[in-house]
Structure 1
Amino acid sequence: MASRNRAALVVGMAAAAALALAGCGTTGGGSATPSAQPVKTEIGPGEGQLSILGWPGYVEDGSNDPAVDWVTPFEAETGCKVSFKPFGTSDEAVTLMRTGQYDVVSASGDASLRLIAGNNVEPVNTGLLKNYPDVYPFLKDKAWNTVDGKNYGMPHGWGANLLMYSVDTVTPAPTSWRAVFDDAARHSGKVTAYDSPIYIADAAVYLMAHKPELGIKNPYALDKDQLAAAVDLLKQQRQHIGEYWSDVVKEVQAFASGSTVVGTTWQVGANIAAANGTNVQTLLPEEGATGWSDTWMIGSESKNKNCAYLWLDYIASPKANAAVAEYFGESPANPKACDLTTDKAHCETYHSGDEAYAERIWYWTTPVAKCLDGRTDVKCTDYSEWTKAWTEIKG
């Protein structure tokens, strides 16, 4: 991040949203059904306007910080006047996109399949986006942005959900998620976890490594027995949770006060903690981790699709992608952005070009009834079932 205060401002806004999921299920609990609409074959002149729905910190026009503005150059370059509405959760984003009032949306993987299944977004001809070839290959053609071989948008930023611990309290240094699961009793009352149904996938990642007999191959593809095992693990963990977090800034404050000593976080949280002088360390544990990869998607009812395509291409351009990634606190999708960040160590900090690191991340993907691991002999649990389970876990 360019500065600790900027990090606190942006993450405070984004973490109020928390990338959290509140109780909305997948459409019909089913699998994603691709749109039947024809894919655009050329980009014509801009329509003069563009309505954007996005995470706070993704569409900055200088209003929050006069020095942070990548919207004004886009408007000057394209003639597309931007109107922006931030959303607080992925569920809110899905609900708002279903109104048909927005041209583009920044969708995390826990929302994108719901939007595709509801035909709320349309396939994107990535051949029309000149910056698409530069995007990291490990962000393309993935379950959260591609269905039946059709791409549904432009990859944006990405990051991992890390394990953070107090160096002075948690010894020896952990190497595994065991610190917050099987060994959580060692720091009972001072363990923290992300407050969202999607956190069930974190338990599934742990079980994949430590209980292979469960047969979990994808933490977002859980049948009823596998979900039950994850729920049991999280109920055991619940006895030792001091508090669940949805605001990473408040989580960092808890580490500073000592009321929390171990739990999941984002890299930007670790950066804020370090800037505040809190003695913590982070790691990507040996089992791997969950994480996020956002995608810019185009509304199926958009009347401004030329401007929408122009935005998707612009936001992945090196200069704009660098500005967003640094301001928000994530890895850019375009490696050329790394040369343009103010902090020249930004991409190293966020492991931007480390494909081996990225391959250890299970990016958030909406759980749906059609098993994402390819199984056809069972029905997997969908997001509505995860939401019900999370309420049960928290009690």
Structure 2
Amino acid sequence: MRLTTARRSTLFAGLAIASVAVLTACGTASGGGDSGEEATELGDYEGSVSILAWPGYVEDGSNDPSVDWVSAFEEETGCMVESKTYGTSDEAFSLMKTGDYDVVAASGDASLRLVAAGEVAPVNTDLLKNYDGIFDFLKMQSWNSVDGVSYGIPHGYGANLLMYNTDVFPDGLTSWSAVFDDAAANSGKVTAYDSPIYIADAAVYLMATQPELGIENPYALDETQLAAAVELLKAQRQHIGEYWSDYLKEIQAFETGDSVVGTTWQVIQNSITTGNTEVVLPDEGTTGWSDTWMISSQAKSPNCAYAWLDYIASPEANAQATAYFGEAPSSQAACEFRDDCEAYHAGDADYASQIWYWSTPIADCLDGRTDVECTDYAAWTTAWQEIKG
């Protein structure tokens, strides 16, 4: 079965970054206590598995009878799936602390917090037959591993792109300057993602346009660098018509012409019906996401948990899940079951290298600096409130 990315009027506003996170002395990801032991072999399946995930990641046909990749897993393993969805990474972090869930799909602003708190266990990827097929550029990255130890497997990934109205920009765009330095040209019709993590988008632009600031990682900003990003975003604020977090609202704004330029996801542009929008990954690079399937250090069904990680990384299941959500799959083999991989630049390592994947800002600078303290997500949340007024 080959899958296409259809417009889904009921699709969730997924991948919302937590807007009220309070990260204090989280320290390095390797801190925070015992994170469980890495499994060395698997035993008998326990008969059930409890999964915590973003909406649209664990579909069993109850939302749409034609969308179901859970039933095949249950039939294959005998592990009956109980699932719960969450709306923010903060909610996921809190729910995982209850010990009620065996598996979680975590975005980069939650994964390291879960490791630091000892809520997830190392994952022995040698026990997963589908791990080898996952794109190398998604494996053992800063948001899914610590000190050379894997804490999960990649699910899918995507970039935050620049979308523009081709009637307004007939010559196209190649730079984020359209929403920053040149935003006044379309004042009131510029849009941006509504979350403190959007500060990183400003930092990516500053990396290219103000190299004297010394920003080397948009999630590792000292006080001076954060202040520069805040200044840029305050200047942008007066030209923003609407910030968005529900992607259906951005679709409507571009279709009505209320928005003509701003940050977006590929699935949004795919869903716009007017035929007068284009997207580009700008020359400066961009932010994006790569979610990770992780196993609870308190898992009651660790064998079924490993079975789920292996299954969701299998080509057909991964193709179904990532196509439904609107993102690139985690393997080239998954593209055999999709006809839109080219649109998502699946497997294009050069393209992926231009993406700074969402990561939680913490005081210990993610860029490796030790001579300065970086600003954490609590500081970013305060700054975002100040930016929006």
Same fold (TM over 0.5): yes
Deviations 1:279-333 (A, max 9, x none): 1010000001000000000111111111111100000001100111111111000
For 2:134 and 2:270, locate their aligned partners in 1 and report how far apart those are by CA, in whole Å: 25
Is 1:305 aligned to 2:299, yes or no?
Answer: no
For 1:4 and 1:127, locate their aligned partners in 2 and report how far apart those are by CA, in whole Å: 35
- Who is 1:26 aligned against? 23
Question: 3-state DSSP class of the match of 1:64?
Answer: coil
Query: Which structure carries more helix by proportion?
Result: 1
- Who is 2:142 aligned against? 143
Alignment of 1:91-110 (within 5 A): 91-110=90-109
- Who is 1:169 aligned against? 168
Question: 3-state DSSP class of the match of 2:155?
Answer: strand
Question: 3-state DSSP class of the match of 1:292?
Answer: strand
- Who is 2:357 aligned against? 363
Alignment of 1:72-221 (within 5 A): 72-221=71-220
Is 1:332 aligned to 2:329, yes or no?
Answer: yes
Scaled by the length of structure 1, the TM-score of the pair is 0.95
Question: In the TM superposition, what is the alpha-carbon distance from 1:67 to its structure 2 partner?
Answer: 1.4
Q: In angstroms, what is the RMSD of aligned CA positions?
A: 1.3
8 Å CA contact retained: 1:29, 1:384: no
Q: Relative to structure 1, is the Cα distance of residues 228 and 27 closer, same or farther in structure 2, using a 3 angstrom cutoff?
A: closer
Instruction: Give the alignment partner of residue 292 of structure 2, picking from 281, 292, 295.
Output: 295
What amino acid does structure 2 have at the position aligned with 1:8?
S
Question: 3-state DSSP class of the match of 1:314?
Answer: helix
For 2:336 and 2:24, locate their aligned partners in 1 and report how far apart those are by CA, in whole Å: 41
8 Å CA contact retained: 2:104, 2:293: yes
Question: In the TM superposition, what is the alpha-carbon distance from 1:101 to its structure 2 partner?
Answer: 1.0
What amino acid does structure 1 have at the position aligned with 2:9?
A
* Matched-pair identity in %: 63
For 2:113 and 2:230, locate their aligned partners in 1 and report how far apart those are by CA, in whole Å: 23
For 2:120 and 2:9, locate their aligned partners in 1 and report how far apart those are by CA, in whole Å: 32
Instruction: Give the alignment partner of residue 284 of structure 1, picking from 260, 277, 281.
Output: 281
8 Å CA contact retained: 1:191, 1:263: yes
Q: Relative to structure 1, is the Cα distance of residues 315 and 71 closer, same or farther in structure 2, using a 3 angstrom cutoff?
A: same
Is 1:378 aligned to 2:354, yes or no?
Answer: no
Is 1:347 aligned to 2:349, yes or no?
Answer: no
For 1:154 and 1:86, locate their aligned partners in 2 and report how far apart those are by CA, in whole Å: 19
8 Å CA contact retained: 2:331, 2:347: no
8 Å CA contact retained: 1:198, 1:386: yes
Deviations 1:191-216 (A, max 9, x none): 00000111000000000000000000
Query: Paired residues, what number?
Result: 385
- Who is 1:255 aligned against? 254
Deviations 1:79-132 (A, max 9, x none): 111111011111111111111111111101111111111111111111111111
For 2:257 and 2:121, locate their aligned partners in 1 and report how far apart those are by CA, in whole Å: 47
Instruction: Give the alignment partner of residue 319 of structure 2, picking from 317, 322, 325.
Output: 322
What amino acid does structure 1 have at the position aligned with 2:379?
E
Question: In the TM superposition, what is the alpha-carbon distance from 1:26 to its structure 2 partner?
Answer: 2.5
Question: In the TM superposition, what is the alpha-carbon distance from 1:33 to its structure 2 partner?
Answer: 2.4
What amino acid does structure 1 have at the position aligned with 2:302?
K
What amino acid does structure 2 have at the position aligned with 1:376?
T
8 Å CA contact retained: 2:131, 2:313: yes
What amino acid does structure 2 have at the position aligned with 1:260?
S
Question: 3-state DSSP class of the match of 2:120?
Answer: coil
For 1:260 and 1:355, locate their aligned partners in 2 and report how far apart those are by CA, in whole Å: 31
8 Å CA contact retained: 2:120, 2:297: yes
8 Å CA contact retained: 1:255, 1:278: no
For 2:238 and 2:383, locate their aligned partners in 1 and report how far apart those are by CA, in whole Å: 16
Question: In the TM superposition, what is the alpha-carbon distance from 1:36 to its structure 2 partner?
Answer: 4.8
For 2:170 and 2:316, locate their aligned partners in 1 and report how far apart those are by CA, in whole Å: 42
Question: 3-state DSSP class of the match of 1:28?
Answer: coil
Q: Relative to structure 1, is the Cα distance of residues 39 and 18 closer, same or farther in structure 2, using a 3 angstrom cutoff?
A: closer
8 Å CA contact retained: 1:60, 1:71: yes
For 1:9 and 1:340, locate their aligned partners in 2 and report how far apart those are by CA, in whole Å: 23
Question: 3-state DSSP class of the match of 1:31?
Answer: coil
Question: 3-state DSSP class of the match of 1:348?
Answer: coil
8 Å CA contact retained: 2:5, 2:326: no
Alignment of 1:52-67 (within 5 A): 52-67=51-66
For 2:43 and 2:230, locate their aligned partners in 1 and report how far apart those are by CA, in whole Å: 50
Q: Which moved more, 1:90-99 or 1:309-318?
A: 90-99
For 1:18 and 1:315, locate their aligned partners in 2 and report how far apart those are by CA, in whole Å: 18
- Who is 1:9 aligned against? 10
8 Å CA contact retained: 1:30, 1:382: no
Question: In the TM superposition, what is the alpha-carbon distance from 1:249 to its structure 2 partner?
Answer: 1.4
For 1:177 and 1:171, locate their aligned partners in 2 and report how far apart those are by CA, in whole Å: 16
Question: 3-state DSSP class of the match of 1:112?
Answer: helix
Scaled by the length of structure 2, the TM-score of the pair is 0.96
For 1:386 and 1:128, locate their aligned partners in 2 and report how far apart those are by CA, in whole Å: 39
What amino acid does structure 1 have at the position aligned with 2:193?
Y
Question: 3-state DSSP class of the match of 1:372?
Answer: coil
Question: In the TM superposition, what is the alpha-carbon distance from 1:171 to its structure 2 partner?
Answer: 4.7
Question: In the TM superposition, what is the alpha-carbon distance from 1:27 to its structure 2 partner?
Answer: 5.3
Gaps of 5+ in 1: none
